[in-house]
Amino acid sequence: MRNTIAMVLLALIVCLAPGCDKVDNKTVSGFQVRINLGTYALWNTYGVSGVGDYNMFNRGKGLPHNFPYNVNTYTGYGGVLLIMGLDSGTASYMPLAYDLACPVERDAGVTLSIDPDNLEAVCPKCKSRYNVLTGAGGPVSGPAMQRKVGLTTYVVRSTGSSGGYIITSY
């Protein structure tokens, strides 16, 4: 009887455990993001246009320079990376957004940079690398690959006829 209960519990644990190949992209989630690039003028100045074109937003660090931050602007935990890449859900090129905090370090002060040679996001501390261009922020190498943690993604919504986008956490 005891062995039967143990076997049932073991089977439940195995069935309910996340898959081995699933990447957790919620390790630094729960932080508010709202960046309004909703007009053609704002998008043309601070947005992205060609594949691999990117910009970083961090209210505390004043990035990008001269961005018109206001009381309704929030930039997540470590800031926001906006990059033109391939959306894995639609298989079309569009603006993508990720939190700049390394999900391994989980420290708002440890923010990613972009490697100009391959456009991967790189953590300066743990050296993890992330595919932000075509891989939905998934890990490429380093501790992030071993722990199966990816970047927190944000929503980039078109404002339609006004020619811009709004980046949000919802």
Phi, psi of 107 (to 5 degrees): -135, 120
pTM here?
Answer: 0.84
Residue 11 lies in a domain: no
Residue 35 lies in a domain: yes
Residues of the chain with pLDDT below 70 are 1-21
Which residues, 6+ apart, have CB-to-CB distance to 147 below 8 Å? 104, 139
Going by C-alpha positions, the residue among 18, 28, 32 that lies closest to residue 130 is 28
Residue 10 lies in a domain: no
Note the pLDDT tens digit of each residue in 4-29.
Answer: 343 333 333 333 334 456 887 777 77
Query: How many angstroms separate the Cα of 8 from the Cα of each of 17, 20, 79, 163?
Result: 14, 21, 45, 56
Q: Give the number of domains in the chain.
A: 1
SS3 165: strand
Query: Strands 54-57 and 80-87, how do they pair?
Result: antiparallel
Asked if 33 contacts 156 with a C-beta cutoff of 8 angstroms, the reply is no
Strand partners, 97: 82, 154
Q: Which domain holds residue 151?
A: 21-168
